[in-house]
């Protein structure tokens, strides 16, 4: 896919009254992003990425103290799976202060603000009345919900197929990747999403697609994969932030007049998606 086909958005400066607003160069660029489920976001000037990137690179060292972070369930902690090139330190918001250095926890909160700005832009376009945004998103739109901040690298000593095709379960994913490898499915074909320097890759997930399904404008959850990294490639580092609903919460579907059109427990929705993925 040519770079030019993936739209680019920018965020306005923080404003106390409205928060950050998301802008595209044209209405067509916004349409394309909502339809693709993906766009580039110019990294805001007030966000320091060098320190978090350095933190991620340091995790490769065998003696990094952060490799000792214990695993909490399947999704959190320092995780290196067999038959998977992906090695990661993954933590949800509640554990950032415990295990991440202060500047990384702060960086996570800056990504929270970006995630909220994006989800609010989606709600604004959807026509769903603002009073319902918090309920529809299980609290995420107003600073609650669940969020993960993960530092990932691909260890090429382990051969495998990278990350198999999937959609993300949550609302919004913010990705900072150091090297190519991400591909998205467009009209049945996988196409490269090149790294665009100075930009995050943003993609929409299933929970956001679900809650906008009956509104004026729904978003797509994009199917994507990460291709296996070759041993000659430099180590692929990425920082990934997932904006998610709380696992024990509910999601609500509203239309633009504020009428409830459906709902699901987060657990039921995720179980359904899991089934679809493993079929």
> Cβ 179 to Fe ion, closest distance in Å?
16
Nearer to Fe ion, 20 or 153 (CB): 153
* Alpha helices, H only, 48-178: 50-58, 93-99, 102-126, 133-136
Per CB under 5 A, contacts with Fe ion among 32-91 are none
How far is it, in rounded angstroms, from Cα 13 to Cα 8? 17
Nearer to Fe ion, 109 or 164 (CB): 164
Between helix 50-58 and helix 102-126 the angle, nearest 10°, is: 120
Q: Is 168 in the site for Fe ion (CB under 5 A)?
A: yes
Q: Residues binding Fe ion: what is the number (CB under 5 A)?
A: 1
Q: Is 176 in the site for Fe ion (CB under 5 A)?
A: no
Binding region for Fe ion (CB under 5 A) out of 19-27, 86-94, 148-156, 160-168? 160-168
Query: What are the residues whose beta carbons fall under 8 Å from the beta carbon of 48, sequence distance 6 or more?
Result: 107
Nearer to Fe ion, 168 or 206 (CB): 168
How far is it, in rounded angstroms, from Cα 101 to Cα 84? 27
> Cβ 185 to Fe ion, closest distance in Å?
12
Tell me the residue ranges of DSSP E strands in the chain.
Answer: 8-11, 22-24, 38-42, 77-80, 86-92, 146-154, 163-166, 172-177, 182-186, 189-192, 199-204, 224-226, 236-244, 250-254, 260-265
Please report where in the chains the tokens 């902690």 appear, as a residue: 77
Which contacts of 25-31 are long-range, i.e. CB under 8 A and separated by 24 or more positions?
A: 30/125
Nearer to Fe ion, 22 or 177 (CB): 177
Nearer to Fe ion, 118 or 128 (CB): 118
Binding region for Fe ion (CB under 5 A) out of 62-70, 167-175, 206-214, 241-249? 167-175
Reference 171, options 229, 251, 277; nearest CA is: 251
> Cβ 128 to Fe ion, closest distance in Å?
25
Binding region for Fe ion (CB under 5 A) out of 88-96, 163-171, 206-214, 255-263? 163-171
Nearer to Fe ion, 173 or 212 (CB): 173
Question: Could you give phi then psi for residue 106, rounded to 5 degrees?
Answer: -65, -40
Residue nearest to Fe ion (CB): 168
The 116-155 contact track toward Fe ion, x by CB under 5 A, reads: ----------------------------------------
* Contact between 78 and 67 (Cβ < 8 Å): yes
Judged by the rule CB under 5 A, the positions of this chain that interact with Fe ion are 168
């Amino acid at each position: 896919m040519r770079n030019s086909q993936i739209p680019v958005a920018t965020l306005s400066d923080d404003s106390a009254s409205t928060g950050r607003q998301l802008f595209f160069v044209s209405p067509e660029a916004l349409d394309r992003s909502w339809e693709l489920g993906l766009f580039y976001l110019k990294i805001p000037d007030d966000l320091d990425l060098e320190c978090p990137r350095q933190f991620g690179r340091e995790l490769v060292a065998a003696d990094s103290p952060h490799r000792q972070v214990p695993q909490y369930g399947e999704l959190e902690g320092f995780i290196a799976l067999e038959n998977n090139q992906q090695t990661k330190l993954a933590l949800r918001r509640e554990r950032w202060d415990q295990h991440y250095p202060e500047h990384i926890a702060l960086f996570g909160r800056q990504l929270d603000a970006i995630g909220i700005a994006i989800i609010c832009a989606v709600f604004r376009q959807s026509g769903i009345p603002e009073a319902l945004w918090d309920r529809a998103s299980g609290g995420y739109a107003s600073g609650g919900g669940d969020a993960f901040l993960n530092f990932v690298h691909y260890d090429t000593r382990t051969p495998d197929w990278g990350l198999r095709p999937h959609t993300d379960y949550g609302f919004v994913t913010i990705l900072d990747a150091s090297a190519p490898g991400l591909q998205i499915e467009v009209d049945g074909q996988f196409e490269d999403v090149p790294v665009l320097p100075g930009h995050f890759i943003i993609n929409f997930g299933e929970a956001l697609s679900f809650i906008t399904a009956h509104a004026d404008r729904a978003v797509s959850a994009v199917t994507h994969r990460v291709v296996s990294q070759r041993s000659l490639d430099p180590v692929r580092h990425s920082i990934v932030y997932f904006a998610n609903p709380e696992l024990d919460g509910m999601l609500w579907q509203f239309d633009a007049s504020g009428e409830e059109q459906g709902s699901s427990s987060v657990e039921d929705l995720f179980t359904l998606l899991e089934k679809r993925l493993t079929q």
